[in-house]
Chain A
Amino acid sequence: MRLEHWIYMLPLRLRSLFRRRQVDAELDEELRYHVERKTEEYIAQGLNHDEARYAAMRGMDGLEQRKEECRDVRRVNSIENFFQDLRYGLRMLRKSPGFTAVAVLTLALGIGANTAIFSVVNAVLLRPLAYPEPDRIVNFFLGNHDIEGTSVPIYMFWREQTEVLQDFALYGEVVKGPGVNLTSTDHPELLRTIHVSAGFFKLFGASVEIGRTFTDQEDVPRGPRLAVISDGFWRRRFGADRSLVGKSIPLGGEPYVVIGIVRDLEPIHSAWNSLGPSLHIDTPADVWLPAQADPNSADQGGSYRAAARLKPGVTLEMARAATNVAQARFRQKYPSERLSSFSFNVEPLSDAVVGNVRLALLVLMGAVSFVLLIACVNVANLLLARATGRRREMAIRAALGAGRRRIVFQLMTETLPLSLAGGVLGIGFGYSVVRVLLAGNSVNLPRIGTHGSDVTLDLRVIIFTMLTATVTGILFGLIPAFSASRGDVNAALKESGARSGCGRGQNKTRSILVVSEIALALVLVAGAALLMRTFVALRAVEPGFETHNVLTFEMSINQPRFDQTTAVARLLRDAQSRVVGLPGVEALAATRSLPLDPNPDYEPINIEGRPPAKDRYQNWAAARQVSARYFEVFRISLLQGRLFTERDDERTPRVVVINETMAKAFWPGYPLGRSPVGERIADVSSANEEESPMQIIGVVADVRDAGLGSKPEPMVYVPIEQRSDVESAADNLFASMIWAVRTNAEPYSLSAAIQRELRIASGGLPVAHIRSMDQVRAEATADSNFNMMLFNVFAGIAILLAAIGIYGVMAYAVEQRTQEIGVRIALGARPRDVVRMVVRQGMRLALTGVFIGVMGAAALTPLMASLLYGVKASDPVVLTAVAVLLSAVALVAIYIPAHRAAQVEPVLALRLE
């Protein structure tokens, strides 16, 4: 029965859709026939021709309406109407190019800004990681992301959980790891290297181009020296020589046999860094070396990452439970180990990669959607002004049988070309904005590639933009459409053309739009102001050292000949004598990590002569290994005691320098009372039990080591020359040697000479990652800089659009009241009175908007609290300043039409009608 229905109906529907002209002609003919026969009937009854025809038409009860009803019955009407309206809409837009240009540009601005931010969100948050089943990969981490890495024993406990997890992988960090030198060639090079377990390649789905990856049998302590290299590195360095596989290359001074070439993998790193801003470097690894970790090792040092894949049917919750079991077992075996005090956790790998960037991006997305809303409101306002001119047209349409729905639909269809044009332009605009934005190296986001090359216009971005454009079109088309379809047909037809549409309802809608526009703009400006305060506050932070004229170089000494401290000490001495001799160089220091580039170790400590803390991890300090001249190079001032000298080496008693925060934390009353200088502390982490205590020889000023926005932490400076051999070897494996040179000339101008001397001093090792401390400092504020810059742009657009909006409404209101104002002036009102009257009317709207905006800002800004420094989310000063600013902008925008109103010539105004 249903089917039968369609058999009859379908051809008819198709016919009405595709043979519309013929169907319409037939309808005309059918009804004409009826009217003619009816007329004949009436003539036969004795009426004259005209009377008969009139009677016949009355019998039809509105011929045109009836025709429309018949067309409606055919249902496909909506599709026909759509195309008809579209054609009509395009014609209307062509007829008013000024309006069209303003509307399309406004929309392109709003939509483009959204496209720009969304394309970043897409690349960072939405684009799936380029691994097989990326959402099944879980990342293992300790505590609240506050421990940098995982130790081998912890990994061994975790990988027992084979019930729920598979494809376990242990790997080092490519970003912060020291890398390995490709040596004994003409161009020694520091390679991005990760030590990985054999399972790594399976977990991350490496596709092998030539050869193979490691086997489990090779991934054992003292296993063979093998290397898998990346496709990119192979092409760059070896000209894609296929015979390389099976040959050996010198890495870190040792020959490694290349067994496979693997296509470049998306870099895997953790963006979490509770210690301060983390630097995201999206460079894929060049070389993978077997981790060859000892499963029986008890060494809790090290900084490994661990990940695995959920077994089929296993949920994240089950993996969490299993991880807790691993933790319980680990605690049982190592009850007093420091790492036992941290919880063992798993998270989806994507969370680890994105880290706390998610919040910043979502806040930006929110801000940019406000910009779009404002743009919508502005265009709605423009349309509304235009719609008033078309009231008669709408009334005539209504009189000819167009239903209200039909009129609303028509108006909305007319706005569709506007929003789609805005969308297309917006894609272009947004994309160029993204390119400009990410072109510099200053943007600190994960997964965006070098200079943002991974932020692309993919299908998702285009669909997003076009959807946004369509929804936008509906949004701003709806308000004027309803406003226009409302109202009394008769009244509209009777109104004279020029003065039509001055109804109160229209003005009310426009006023509401302006108020909301100002409120939205205020929220954005408040956000921008807070981020600006943050930026200024961060800029004003005294880092505790002098950044100017310091150049830093990174060198990996991750090779066997530096496994003993004496070798490292010799390297420091050689470098010292070679570099300091250069003209322009004041001093050279070596360190394992730079201030503001946080990578310190945290060590539990005990102070000699005091009862050990109940929990031996209660007292802790950050530790940084430095050479004697560190304080001189960074100009960190000495507060008490003395600094290191070259005589503090492996033969003399172990000494440390502490910072002021440490002194205050452990010696109450510092700097009065008992001085820490002369006291001895012990590092009680398990690897160092047998080490002798270290004597405090000096106290230095605090440095913002953990980032400009973080409070200084207790810090112990340890001489590199006094590390034990075990410690030195571990340091080499997990951290680079960083050379810092204080110059009395432009630091980069000395770069080549210093590099040359460092290479000679180190026996041919390359340096990489050359940065001035000014640059390091700039990178430390890159996040807040980026947020602030974008917010400022958005806020600027918002203010501009809001100003245009209120100007438009007031100019229109003044124009409507020209006559009235003319009468007032004729009756003796002074220009001042007129200005005051108009300004009062406008400012009432503006201040309502400001008030609502302040409420909104107070409600919304707490969402961005974690992006702020040195200012509270709902800072009253900021809110007040922003309110004043917006009121002032509104005043200017209102003053222009008010001034014009005061110039009204009464005689002209009265003649207007």
Chain B
Amino acid sequence: MSKPSDLVQGTLDLLVLKILALEPLNGWAISQRLRQVSGDILQVSDGSLYPALHKLEQEGWITAEWKPSENNRRAKFYSLTRFGRKNLEREAANWTRLSGAITSVLGLEEA
């Protein structure tokens, strides 16, 4: 289970972006938050989180900053950029459309 195979491709990015839209967080905190909000339904391996974060940073969607953390140790905090926020809105809209479509297909009455 090295890859979040149970997550639709790109969903992890969307989740991370949304979480960061609320407040800047470090990697460990993001993983905590992911587990809390999804209620353990979405299994995200810690291992795959960091490459995803670095990728988003490289894309310019999020930016990083070293700050003291909750326990006063230095940690890398990620926050959403303006560019990232635009992309989050677009991706979220896409997701809503897509999941809506899938839901309506699944909701078809069998003849």
Contact assessment for A33 and B51 in the assembled complex, using a CB-CB cutoff below 8 Å: no
Which residue in A7, A33, A60 is a CB contact (below 8 Å) of B47?
Answer: A60
Interface flag for B83 (CB, 8 Å): yes
| 29 A-B interface contacts by CB (under 8 A) | A4-B60, A5-B60, A5-B83, A7-B60, A8-B60, A8-B61, A13-B58, A26-B66, A29-B74, A29-B76, A30-B75, A30-B76, A33-B73, A33-B74, A34-B27, A34-B28, A34-B50, A37-B28, A38-B28, A38-B46, A61-B48, A62-B2, A66-B47, A69-B51, A70-B51, A72-B51, A73-B54, A73-B58, A74-B58
Most chain A Cβ neighbours within 10 Å, of B63, B69, B76: B76
For the complex formed, measure the closest distance between the CB of B36 and the CB atoms of chain A, giving whole angstroms: 13
Provide the residues of chain B in CB contact with A37, threshold 8 Å.
28
Interface flag for B26 (CB, 8 Å): yes
Provide the residues of chain B in CB contact with A34, threshold 8 Å.
27-28, 31, 46, 50
Interface flag for A102 (CB, 8 Å): no
Provide the residues of chain B in CB contact with A70, threshold 8 Å.
50-51, 54
Question: Interface digits, B41-72 against A, CB 8 Å rule (1 contact, 0 not)?
Answer: 00001111011001101111101001001000
For the complex formed, measure the closest distance between the CB of A110 and the CB atoms of chain B, giving whole angstroms: 43
Contact assessment for A31 and B59 in the assembled complex, using a CB-CB cutoff below 8 Å: no
Contact assessment for A59 and B50 in the assembled complex, using a CB-CB cutoff below 8 Å: no
Contact assessment for A30 and B50 in the assembled complex, using a CB-CB cutoff below 8 Å: yes
The docked-state distance in angstroms from the alpha carbon of A33 to that of B30 is 13
Provide the residues of chain B in CB contact with A75, threshold 8 Å.
58
Chain A residue with the shortest CB-CB distance to B47: A61
Provide the residues of chain B in CB contact with A8, threshold 8 Å.
59-61, 63, 81, 83
Contact assessment for A33 and B83 in the assembled complex, using a CB-CB cutoff below 8 Å: no
The docked-state distance in angstroms from the alpha carbon of A341 to that of B102 is 85
Interface flag for A9 (CB, 8 Å): yes
Provide the residues of chain A in CB contact with B55, threshold 8 Å.
73
Provide the residues of chain A in CB contact with B83, threshold 8 Å.
4-5, 8
Provide the residues of chain A in CB contact with B73, threshold 8 Å.
33
Interface flag for A12 (CB, 8 Å): yes
For the complex formed, measure the closest distance between the CB of B60 and the CB atoms of chain A, giving whole angstroms: 2
The docked-state distance in angstroms from the alpha carbon of A70 to that of B58 is 10
Given contacts A8-B81, A34-B28, A37-B28, whether A74 and B54 have CB atoms under 8 Å apart is yes
For the complex formed, measure the closest distance between the CB of B66 and the CB atoms of chain A, giving whole angstroms: 8
Q: Which 5 A-B pairs have the closest CB atoms?
A: A8-B60, A61-B47, A69-B51, A37-B28, A59-B46
The docked-state distance in angstroms from the alpha carbon of A710 to that of B59 is 75
Most chain A Cβ neighbours within 10 Å, of B47, B63, B76: B47
Additional pairs, 16, CB under 8 Å, beyond known A31-B27, A34-B31, A74-B54: A8-B59, A8-B60, A9-B59, A12-B57, A26-B76, A30-B50, A33-B28, A34-B46, A34-B50, A38-B46, A59-B47, A62-B2, A62-B47, A66-B47, A73-B51, A73-B54
The docked-state distance in angstroms from the alpha carbon of A346 to that of B28 is 80
Which residue in B31, B50, B63, B66 is a CB contact (below 8 Å) of A66?
Answer: B50
Question: Interface digits, B78-104 against A, CB 8 Å rule (1 contact, 0 not)?
Answer: 000101000000000000000000000
Contact assessment for A61 and B2 in the assembled complex, using a CB-CB cutoff below 8 Å: yes
Provide the residues of chain B in CB contact with A69, threshold 8 Å.
50-51
Chain B residue with the shortest CB-CB distance to A70: B54
Given contacts A4-B83, A33-B26, whether A12 and B58 have CB atoms under 8 Å apart is yes
Provide the residues of chain A in CB contact with B63, threshold 8 Å.
8
B contact residues, range: 20 to 34
Provide the residues of chain B in CB contact with A66, threshold 8 Å.
47, 50-51
Tell me how many residue pairs across A and B have CB atoms closer than 8 Å: 76
The docked-state distance in angstroms from the alpha carbon of A9 to that of B73 is 28
Provide the residues of chain B in CB contact with A31, threshold 8 Å.
27, 50
Contact assessment for A59 and B58 in the assembled complex, using a CB-CB cutoff below 8 Å: no
For the complex formed, measure the closest distance between the CB of B88 and the CB atoms of chain A, giving whole angstroms: 14
The docked-state distance in angstroms from the alpha carbon of A61 to that of B49 is 11
A residues contacting the other copy or chain, number (CB 8 A)? 27
The docked-state distance in angstroms from the alpha carbon of A4 to that of B63 is 14
For the complex formed, measure the closest distance between the CB of A18 and the CB atoms of chain B, giving whole angstroms: 16
Most chain A Cβ neighbours within 10 Å, of B45, B46, B55: B46
Looking at chain A's contact residues, the main secondary structure is: helix
Provide the residues of chain B in CB contact with A74, threshold 8 Å.
54, 58
Chain B residue with the shortest CB-CB distance to A26: B76
Contact assessment for A30 and B48 in the assembled complex, using a CB-CB cutoff below 8 Å: no
Provide the residues of chain B in CB contact with A5, threshold 8 Å.
59-60, 83
Question: Interface digits, A16-40 against B, CB 8 Å rule (1 contact, 0 not)?
Answer: 0000000000100111011001100
The docked-state distance in angstroms from the alpha carbon of A167 to that of B14 is 73
Which residue in A9, A33, A38, A59 is a CB contact (below 8 Å) of B75?
Answer: A33
Contact assessment for A30 and B27 in the assembled complex, using a CB-CB cutoff below 8 Å: yes
The docked-state distance in angstroms from the alpha carbon of A66 to that of B27 is 14
For the complex formed, measure the closest distance between the CB of A58 and the CB atoms of chain B, giving whole angstroms: 9
Most chain A Cβ neighbours within 10 Å, of B31, B54, B73: B54
| Residues 35 to 69 of chain A near chain B (Cβ within 8 Å) | 37-38, 59-62, 65-66, 69
Chain A residue with the shortest CB-CB distance to B57: A12
The docked-state distance in angstroms from the alpha carbon of A31 to that of B75 is 10
The docked-state distance in angstroms from the alpha carbon of A37 to that of B54 is 19
Contact assessment for B46 and A61 in the assembled complex, using a CB-CB cutoff below 8 Å: yes
The docked-state distance in angstroms from the alpha carbon of A34 to that of B74 is 11
The docked-state distance in angstroms from the alpha carbon of A126 to that of B74 is 65
For the complex formed, measure the closest distance between the CB of B57 and the CB atoms of chain A, giving whole angstroms: 7
Contact assessment for B58 and A9 in the assembled complex, using a CB-CB cutoff below 8 Å: yes
Chain B residue with the shortest CB-CB distance to A34: B28
Provide the residues of chain B in CB contact with A72, threshold 8 Å.
51
Most chain A Cβ neighbours within 10 Å, of B55, B60, B73, B81: B60
The docked-state distance in angstroms from the alpha carbon of A261 to that of B1 is 86
The docked-state distance in angstroms from the alpha carbon of A568 to that of B41 is 116
Chain A residue with the shortest CB-CB distance to B29: A37
Provide the residues of chain A in CB contact with B59, threshold 8 Å.
5, 8-9
The docked-state distance in angstroms from the alpha carbon of A807 to that of B45 is 54
The docked-state distance in angstroms from the alpha carbon of A793 to that of B59 is 58
Provide the residues of chain B in CB contact with A13, threshold 8 Å.
58
The docked-state distance in angstroms from the alpha carbon of A30 to that of B59 is 19
| Residues 340 to 394 of chain A near chain B (Cβ within 8 Å) | none
The docked-state distance in angstroms from the alpha carbon of A9 to that of B50 is 18
Chain A residue with the shortest CB-CB distance to B30: A34
For the complex formed, measure the closest distance between the CB of B50 and the CB atoms of chain A, giving whole angstroms: 6
The docked-state distance in angstroms from the alpha carbon of A69 to that of B69 is 25
Provide the residues of chain A in CB contact with B26, threshold 8 Å.
30, 33
For the complex formed, measure the closest distance between the CB of B63 and the CB atoms of chain A, giving whole angstroms: 7
For the complex formed, measure the closest distance between the CB of B75 and the CB atoms of chain A, giving whole angstroms: 5
Chain A residue with the shortest CB-CB distance to B1: A61
Chain A residue with the shortest CB-CB distance to B55: A73
The docked-state distance in angstroms from the alpha carbon of A511 to that of B76 is 55
The docked-state distance in angstroms from the alpha carbon of A31 to that of B26 is 11
Question: Interface digits, A220-236 against B, CB 8 Å rule (1 contact, 0 not)?
Answer: 00000000000000000
Chain B residue with the shortest CB-CB distance to A56: B46
| Residues 53 to 99 of chain A near chain B (Cβ within 8 Å) | 59-62, 65-66, 69-70, 72-75
The docked-state distance in angstroms from the alpha carbon of A59 to that of B66 is 24
The docked-state distance in angstroms from the alpha carbon of A61 to that of B5 is 14
For the complex formed, measure the closest distance between the CB of A199 and the CB atoms of chain B, giving whole angstroms: 66
The docked-state distance in angstroms from the alpha carbon of A298 to that of B58 is 84
For the complex formed, measure the closest distance between the CB of A774 and the CB atoms of chain B, giving whole angstroms: 78
Provide the residues of chain A in CB contact with B1, threshold 8 Å.
61
Provide the residues of chain A in CB contact with B27, threshold 8 Å.
30-31, 33-34
Provide the residues of chain B in CB contact with A61, threshold 8 Å.
1-2, 45-48
The docked-state distance in angstroms from the alpha carbon of A72 to that of B2 is 16
Provide the residues of chain A in CB contact with B51, threshold 8 Å.
66, 69-70, 72-73
Provide the residues of chain A in CB contact with B61, threshold 8 Å.
8
For the complex formed, measure the closest distance between the CB of B34 and the CB atoms of chain A, giving whole angstroms: 13
Provide the residues of chain A in CB contact with B50, threshold 8 Å.
30-31, 34, 66, 69-70
The docked-state distance in angstroms from the alpha carbon of A276 to that of B26 is 86
The docked-state distance in angstroms from the alpha carbon of A59 to that of B1 is 10
For the complex formed, measure the closest distance between the CB of B82 and the CB atoms of chain A, giving whole angstroms: 8
Provide the residues of chain A in CB contact with B57, threshold 8 Å.
12
For the complex formed, measure the closest distance between the CB of A67 and the CB atoms of chain B, giving whole angstroms: 8
The docked-state distance in angstroms from the alpha carbon of A38 to that of B45 is 13
